[in-house]
Amino acid sequence: MPSHNPAFGRGFANATNGAAGQQYGSWGAGAPQPYGAPPHDPYAAPAPYTRTDTRYLTMDDVVQKTGLSFLVTVLAAAATWVLLPQDLAWGLALPAVLIAFVLGLVISFKQIANPVATLAYGALYGVALGAISEAFNDIYPGIVMQAVIGTFGVFAGMLVVYKTGAIRVTPKLTRWVVGAMFGVLALVLVNLVVGIFAGGDPLGIRSGGPIAILFSVVVIGVAAFMLLLDFDMADEAIRRGAPAKFAWYIAFGLLVTVVWLYLEILRLLSYLQDN
C-alpha cells in the first residue's frame, strides 16, 4: 500500500523496480497496475545466479538513513539554539523554512532519493526548529523537552500499533487519512488567507482557546496516522525490491511527518499552559 505522505506518491511507483530491474521509470507497456505494482512476469526476473549491480532496499537501510536524517536535524536545531543569539536565529529561521519548503517540493516532485537532498532538508528545518523551540522554551520553560518526549512517544506508539497489526493500513484507511490531511491543510490555508485581510484568527483554530486545542488534537491524530502510512510505505518498498538508495526518500517522508507532529505538539502544550 503506497503511502500518501506528500513526500511519497508517484516516486514510490517509479523507484520500486521489483524483480524486473527497472529503475526510476515506468512499469512498461500494458494496463496500469493497481497502486503502482509491477506486472507479474516471472520470465522478466533475473536468473538466480546472474550478476547484478543493483543492491535492493532492506530495513537496515531505512533505519540507518532515517536515523542519520533525524540526527542531522537535531544537531542543526541544537547548534542554532546554543550557538546563535536569538535575534540572529530568528533571522535565519524564515529563510531556512522557505528554502526547505521549496527543496521539499523538488524532492517530492522530482522523486529525488539521495543523501545530499534529504540531509540538506533536515539541516534547514533544524535551523528553524532550533529558533522556534528556543522561543517557546523562553516563554514556557521545559516545554521543548515535553514536546520531544511526546513526539517520540507517538512515533514509538504508532510503530508498535503498526507492527502488531492492531490497525491495518487498508485502502479505506488511507482514503480517510489523506482526506483528513487535506481537510486540515485547507482549514489552515483558509484561516491564513482570511486572517491576512481580516486580521486575527478568524476561524479560531490558532487562538489558544477550546477550538484551537481541539484542532491541534485532530492535527496530531492525523499526523500519527500518517506515520502508519509511512511505515507501510517502507515495508512495501522492501517487498517490491526498490533500490537501496530509496531509503533516503523514505527518510525524507518520515522527517516531514515527524517535524509536523513535533510542531503541533509544541503548539498544543503551549495552549494547555495558557489555560
More confident residue, 131 or 43: 131
- Count of residues in the chain: 275
Q: Which of 266, 257, 98 is nearest to 178 (CA)?
A: 257
Q: How far is CA 36 from CA 16, 83, 197, 252, in A?
A: 9, 46, 43, 20
- Assigned domain for 31 exists: no
In which band, very low, low, confident or very high, does the pLDDT at 204 lie, cut at 50, 70 and 90?
confident
Interacting residues of 126 by C-beta distance below 8 A, sequence separation 6+: 72, 73, 74, 75, 76, 77, 79, 80
In which band, very low, low, confident or very high, does the pLDDT at 203 lie, cut at 50, 70 and 90?
confident
Is 248 within 8 Å of 115 (Cβ atoms)?
Answer: yes
Residue-level pLDDT at 15: 55
- Assigned domain for 36 exists: no
In which band, very low, low, confident or very high, does the pLDDT at 152 lie, cut at 50, 70 and 90?
very high
- Assigned domain for 168 exists: yes
| Residue-wise pLDDT tens digits, 9-68 | 545 555 544 433 333 333 333 333 333 334 443 333 444 333 446 788 999 999 999 999
| Residue-wise pLDDT tens digits, 51-82 | 446 788 999 999 999 999 999 999 999 999 99
- Assigned domain for 89 exists: yes
Q: pTM value?
A: 0.80
In which band, very low, low, confident or very high, does the pLDDT at 109 lie, cut at 50, 70 and 90?
confident
- How far apart are the C-alpha atoms of 225 and 198, rounded to whole Å? 33
- Assigned domain for 47 exists: no
- Assigned domain for 2 exists: no
Ramachandran angles phi, psi of 142, nearest 5°: 90, -5
Q: Which domain holds residue 114?
A: 10-20+55-274
- Assigned domain for 179 exists: yes
Residue-level pLDDT at 270: 94
Give the total number of structural domains in the chain.
Answer: 1
Residue given cell 533516503 in the structure block: 248
- Assigned domain for 157 exists: yes
- Please give the distance of CA 59 from its chain centroid, rounded to a whole number: 17
Is 158 within 8 Å of 231 (Cβ atoms)?
Answer: yes
Residue-level pLDDT at 12: 52
